[in-house]
Amino acid sequence: MRDTCLFRAPSNLGLRPLRPGHVPGTWRAPEALTKAGLVETVAPAAVIDLERPAYSASPEPGTRLRNGHAIRRFNLELADAVADALVRGEWPLVIGGDCSVLLGALAAARRSGPVALVHVDGHSDFRHPGNYDANATLGSAAGMDLALATGRGEPLLTEWPGIAGPLVADEAVVQIGERNSRDPDFAWADINATAITRIDVFAVREMGSAGVLDHTWAALARADCPYWLHLDVDVLDQTVMPAVDSPGSPGIDLDNLVAILSPLAEDRRCIGMDMTIFDPELDPTGELALLLVSLLERVVRPA
């Protein structure tokens, strides 16, 4: 059995404030999940805590990304720590935090060569200056992580030390769970012209978990390299997981999600996983934290 290295990455830097003066609560997720039994459930060989970064909603010089410089610093620190775990032969499990932590995880994985990405998220997170006016509004990296990972956006978050080109090539990405792609006003329709393999939530429902895995394995075989597994918990329906910044319906139901994630996490080519976007401030009873810990138990420590 592999040794898991658990990273608690309390970032909220990639999220916009929901109202003036608001500070997004995803930074609390690692602590809330720990109280819900995360460490006992995952039983990691090591636990590494990153320090909570300071959040600001205001623009800053040199970037049109909210908290852009802080996101880079945080992810460079995360990348170093995850890379060390990989060198030790451990399996990194990064608990965010917002989706921008994906960048540091991929930057670590890329130090050993090309990497693929399975991006399980209720949104494609493909916002970039090619599909919105960056001069008119600040960018929020948590809604841009897939675009940034594939090299679209400011060099601040697309260029990383020792890595030539994007963190991951379009053709090495599988996006699972987008719920808005069939809307006539879909904001990121340009993703449809890329080589990214896309399996939206409607296709998931049509083909079932076995069909999703068949398509995903085929794409990963073409990529022919190790892969990272990203889970944004807003891929669950909002009736199941409302404690996220952008809940929505439809979503992948819990059992189907486990049926998709568990084989992907178990496969020897999967070199690590992250889980993001849970906001404990929207979970006053703590029951959703318990649900997510149970989900992780079924995915990373299956019976």
pLDDT tens digits for range 210-238: 999 999 999 999 999 999 999 999 999 99
- Residue 303 pLDDT exceeds 80: no
- CATH fold label, 4-300: Arginase; Chain A (3.40.800)
Average pLDDT in the 96-121 region? 98
The predicted pLDDT at position 28 comes to 98
- Residue 302 pLDDT exceeds 70: no
Residues 6+ apart with CB under 8 A from 119: 125, 146, 173, 174, 175, 176, 230
Cα gap 124→138, rounded to integer Å: 19
Task: Tell me the pLDDT tens digit for each residue of 151-207.
Answer: 999 999 999 999 999 999 999 999 999 999 999 999 899 999 999 999 999 999 999
The alpha helices in the chain, defined as continuous H runs, are: 29-35, 38-42, 68-87, 101-109, 145-149, 155-158, 201-223, 254-266, 287-300
Domains of the chain by residue range? 4-300
